[in-house]
Structure 1
Amino acid sequence: MPDRTAPGPAELPTTAAGGAPVTTTLSEQDGAVVRRTVLPSGVRVLTESVPAQRSATVGCWVGVGSRDEDDGHHGSTHFLEHLLFKGTERRDAMDIATAFDAVGGEANAATGKEHTTYYARVLDEDLPMAVDVVTDMVTSAVLDEDDFASEREVILEELAMNDDDPGDVAHERFAELVLGDHPLARPIGGTPETIRAVGRDDVWAHYRRHYQPSQLVFTAAGGLDHDEVVETVERELARAAGTLGEAAPAPRRTGGTSGGLTASQVLVVERPTEQAHVLLGTTGLTATDERRFTLSVLNAVLGGGMSSRLFQEVREKRGLAYSVYSFAANYADSGYVGLYAGCSPAKAGQVAELMLAELVGLAERGLDTEELQRGIGQLAGGLVLGLEDSGARMNRLGKAELVHGVFLDLDTVLARVRAVTADDVQAMAAEIVGRPRAVTVVGPFADDRAFRGVLP
C-alpha cells in the first residue's frame, strides 16, 4: 500500500449499497488511510486509521438538529441528547458512565442546528467497547418517564445557566436577529417555555422518526482497523434491531428558504452587567460555498489571533477590551459572520465603531502580501496541528459525510487555502460591508442611541 496517493476530492454518494457492503478508500497520506463503507441498511461507516496512535475516537452522527423540530417539539433534539445517556434496554445510566470511567475514556454528545453527535475517546484496545455502548445508546434508548421528568429539570437549569451568561445571550440574540424567522434562528436547547411544554411522547416520536439506520453515520479515527469497526457496528446494530432492512442512505440536506436579514437593525438587551457584550455582523455563506476558504482567511486576518486587526487595534493599541474576535457560522442554506468584543459599557459605542472601521478598511484598502500570508499561515498551521487529535479527525469525517458530500484530504484543503488571494479577501470584505447589518448589545443600556452610528 503506497504512503501517498494523488490528493483530491473524493465524492461520497448516497446511493444504496445493493445488498452487500460497499467499501472505498478515500485517501492514503503519510500512512493514514481513510475508508468508507455503506451498509445495505443505509448506515455509513468512515474511518481514518492512524499508525502507531494508541487512542481512538468514535462518533455516531445523526442528520437531525434543532432546525428540524416541529412546532410543539422545540428543544426535543437537545432533550433527546440528554436522555440517551440515561439508559437502554441493556444498560442503565450508571452502566454507561462506568463503561468509560473504568478504562480512562470519556464520552459526550453535542447537539447542533443541523446534526447531533454522540462520541467517545478511548484507548485503541477499548474501541470495540466504545462502539458497542455508543450504538446501544443511539439505537435502544428507553426514555423512561422518571428519567424524562428529572432530566427536564436538569435542562431547565442548563438554560438558566446560559441565560446568566451575557456573552451567550448576546450570541443567541445575534443569531436570531441575523437569521430572522428561519428555523436556524431558534436556540438549540429550546426555551424554558418549550421545555416545560414538551412531553415524553413528543420526544419519543422525534426519536423514532429521525434515528433510523439510513440517518446514522459512524466515524472513527486513531489506532483502528476499518474492517473491525464495520464488523462491530454491524453486530451491534443487528443486536439492537434484529433484522435490518435495506435502504439507501438518507439524502444530504439541501436547505430551504434562506430568509435572514433584509434591513439593518440594532437590538439592545438591558442587563446590569459590568461589561457590555457587543456583536455586529450580517449574513454569511452556506456550508458548501467554495468561497468558505476565502472567508476563513478573512477571519484569520480580521479577528483570528493576536496579530489580527481587531486584536491589535482594539486591545493592544487602545486597551479597550480583553476579548475581541471575528467568527463565522455556515449552514446548508444560510450562515452569518460577526465581530465580537466585551468592553466597558462607557466604551461600547466606540468599540463598535472601531470594529466596523477595521472591516470597512479591509474592504476599501485591502491587505498586503505579508498580512495575507500571515493569515494563510495561521489557518494552515491550525489545520495541521488540529489533526494531531483523533477527535478532530473523527469530526472531519462526519462533516464530510453529512455536510459537504465530499472528502478533502489535508493537501487539498491546504492548496485551496493557499490559493486565496488578497483580491479575494478584499472582495469578500466588501460584500459583507455592503449587506444589511445587525448589531446586538447586552449590557446596562436603556436604548440603542450609542450604537446607531454603526448602521449603514
Structure 2
Amino acid sequence: MVNGPAGRPARSLTQTLPDGVRRTTLPSGLRVITEAIPTTRSAALGVWVGIGSRDEAPAMSGASHFLEHLLFKGTHKRTALQISAEIEAVGGETNAFTTKEYTCYYARVLDSDLPLAVDVLVDAVADSILDPADVETERGVILEEIAMHEDEPGDEVHDVFAEAIYGNHPLGRLISGTPESVTPMTRTQINNFYRKRYKAPEIVIAAAGNLDHATVVRLVRKALAGTPLDTGAAGPAQPRAGDKRVRVQKPHTVVLHRDTEQAHIVLGGVGLSRYDDRRFALGVLNNILGGGMSSRLFQEIREKRGLAYSVYSYAAQYADSGLFGVYAGCAPGKAGEVLDLIRQELERVASSGITAEELVRGKGMVKGSYVLGLEDTGSRMSRLAKSELLHGHLMSVDELLGRVDAVTIADVEKVAGDLLAHRHSLAVVGPFDEGAFPPG
C-alpha cells in the first residue's frame, strides 16, 4: 500500500500477478484479487476472512461458525429473505463455510449479475445486524447441526483423530464448537468477536470469471462505503505465522463407542505445515499410499481382500503444523485385520521406499488433480484467495507443476521416513469399548 502525506488517505495499489491475476490493496488494507476468464459466462465471488476456529478462546469455541450462520440473517439494508432472494432471483447461489484458520462467504452468478453479488455479499459480511432473535434461532440450528454430525461416524472419526493429536489446542477442537460452548454464548459475545476480528486487513475479496478487475474494485469500494469495514489507512495482515511449534500429544488410542454397523478408523500422526517445502513430496506420497484406486492401500485392503469399501490417506496442513492420516471403514469384526494391514503398509513404505513407477504415477495424480480442479470459476476464485490469505503470494500454475515435477524418489522416501517410521495415534468410532485396540 502507498501511504500519503499526513492528513490524506493512502492510495490503492494495484499489481499484476502470475497468470494474469490482478490484485488491488485498498487504503484500509482489504485486498481485491481477480482473474479474468473471458471464455466463461459466469463469475464466482468470495469474501475470505483470515479468522477461524483456532482463533477462539475455549469459552468461545464455535464462535466463527456461529457468526458464519448469522451474517446471512440480515443487515441494515436487507432482511435474511432479501439476501437469499436477490441472489436466487438471478439463478445464483450463495453459501459459506468455516475452517480452523479462515472463513469464506461465496456466491456464483452469471457474469452480468456480478455487481449484484458484490453488493449483497459485501453487505452481509461488513454490516450484519446480529439480531438477538436470529441468534436464538441459529443457536438451535447449530445444535441440530452438531447432533447431525454425531450421527455421521465417518465424519466424526476425523474430529476424534484431530483431538487425539492436538488435545486441548485450538487445532484439536471442533469447528462447530460443542453444545456446552454454543448454548451459553451471548449475542454480545458474538458481536464483540465479529467487530474485533472482522477487520479490513484480514479480508480478501476474490473473484474469477468474465469480469474486469477495475470494475470489481469499484463495486467493492461502493459496497463498503459507510460500513464498519470502510476504515482508515492500514496495511494488509500478513499470513498467519508458521514459526512456532504446536504442542501435540504422545501417540495413543481413542475409542468412541457408537452402535454403528461399521468401524471407522483413522491411523496417523503429525504431518507438515503449509510452508514446509516437503509438502510437494508429501502430496506424491499421499497418492502412492492412498490417493486413488491404484494406491497401495486401496489395492491391498479393498481390491485384494475386500475388507473395506472406503480406504484412503489424506493430509491437512496449517500454518504451524499438519496432520497425516489413513481412514478405513469396515465391518467391526474386520477392524483388527484392516488396522494391521494399514500399519504394515506404512512400515513398508518407511523402510523400503517406493518404485520409480509409483513416483511417476504419484506425481501425475498430483498434477492432474490440481489442473483439473481449476476447470470452474469457483475453484479458480478459491485458488486466488487461499494463495493471498494463507501464503501472501500466488504461485503460477507452471511453477507449481514444476515443483511437483522436481520431486525425487529420495524426497518421497525422506518424508515417508520422517512421518511414518514411528508409532501413530489411532482414532476409532464404532461398537467397541476402550482397550479394544492395543497399541501398535
TM-score bracket for this pair, using the shorter chain length: over 0.9
Deviation at 1:434, TM superposition (A): 3.0
* Conserved 8 A contact 1:261-1:436: no
Gap runs ≥5 in structure 2: 5-9
Aligned to 1:27: 18
Aligned to 2:370: 383
C-alpha distance after superposition, 1:75-101 (max 9, x if no partner): 111000000011101001110111111
Partner AA of 1:140 in structure 2: D
Task: Specify which of 260, 265, 284 is matched with residue 278 of structure 1.
Answer: 265
* Conserved 8 A contact 2:262-2:331: yes
Aligned to 2:221: 234
Could you tell me the TM-score, scaled by structure 2's length?
0.96
Aligned to 1:10: none
Partner AA of 2:15 in structure 1: T
1:82 paired with 2:73, answer no
Could you tell me the TM-score, scaled by structure 1's length?
0.93
SS in 1 for 2:238: coil
Partner AA of 1:211 in structure 2: Y
Deviation at 1:271, TM superposition (A): 1.1
Q: How does 1:304-319 map to 2 (within 5 A)?
A: 304-319=291-306
Aligned to 1:11: none
Task: Specify which of 164, 180, 186 is matched with residue 177 of structure 1.
Answer: 164
* Conserved 8 A contact 2:21-2:35: yes
- Structure 1 CA distance, aligned partners of 2:311 and 2:247? 25
Partner AA of 1:26 in structure 2: L
Aligned to 2:7: none
- Structure 1 CA distance, aligned partners of 2:3 and 2:172? 36
Deviation at 1:240, TM superposition (A): 2.4
Aligned to 1:12: none
Gap runs ≥5 in structure 1: 1-14
SS in 2 for 1:77: helix
CA, structure 1 residues 446+71, in 2 after alignment: closer, same or farther (shift >3 Å)? closer
Aligned to 2:255: 268
1:414 paired with 2:382, answer no
- Structure 1 CA distance, aligned partners of 2:353 and 2:324? 18
Q: How does 1:243-258 map to 2 (within 5 A)?
A: 244-255=231-242, 257-258=244-245
Task: Specify which of 134, 139, 158 is matched with residue 121 of structure 2.
Answer: 134
Identity %: 52
Partner AA of 1:37 in structure 2: T
Aligned to 1:428: 415
CA, structure 1 residues 394+242, in 2 after alignment: closer, same or farther (shift >3 Å)? closer
C-alpha distance after superposition, 1:326-371 (max 9, x if no partner): 0011111111100000001111011011112112111111111111
Partner AA of 1:41 in structure 2: S
Task: Specify which of 152, 157, 161 is matched with residue 165 of structure 1.
Answer: 152
1:366 paired with 2:366, answer no
Task: Specify which of 409, 412, 435 is matched with residue 448 of structure 1.
Answer: 435
- Structure 2 CA distance, aligned partners of 1:451 and 1:120? 48
Partner AA of 1:22 in structure 2: L
SS in 2 for 1:406: coil
Deviation at 1:404, TM superposition (A): 1.1
Structure 1 window deviating more from structure 2 (147-156 vs 432-441): it is 432-441
CA, structure 1 residues 353+16, in 2 after alignment: closer, same or farther (shift >3 Å)? farther
- Structure 1 CA distance, aligned partners of 2:281 and 2:438? 29
Aligned to 1:55: 42
Deviation at 1:241, TM superposition (A): 4.2
* Conserved 8 A contact 2:264-2:330: yes
- Structure 2 CA distance, aligned partners of 1:202 and 1:241? 18
SS in 1 for 2:225: helix
* Conserved 8 A contact 2:164-2:249: no
C-alpha distance after superposition, 1:398-434 (max 9, x if no partner): 1111111121010000000111111111111111123
- Structure 2 CA distance, aligned partners of 1:451 and 1:339? 18
Deviation at 1:451, TM superposition (A): 4.2
1:99 paired with 2:90, answer no
* Conserved 8 A contact 2:43-2:114: yes
1:325 paired with 2:312, answer yes
RMSD of aligned residue pairs (Cα, Å): 1.4
Structure 1 window deviating more from structure 2 (196-205 vs 237-246): it is 237-246
CA, structure 1 residues 319+297, in 2 after alignment: closer, same or farther (shift >3 Å)? same
C-alpha distance after superposition, 1:291-325 (max 9, x if no partner): 11111111111111100111100000000000000
Task: Specify which of 207, 212, 217 is matched with residue 220 of structure 1.
Answer: 207
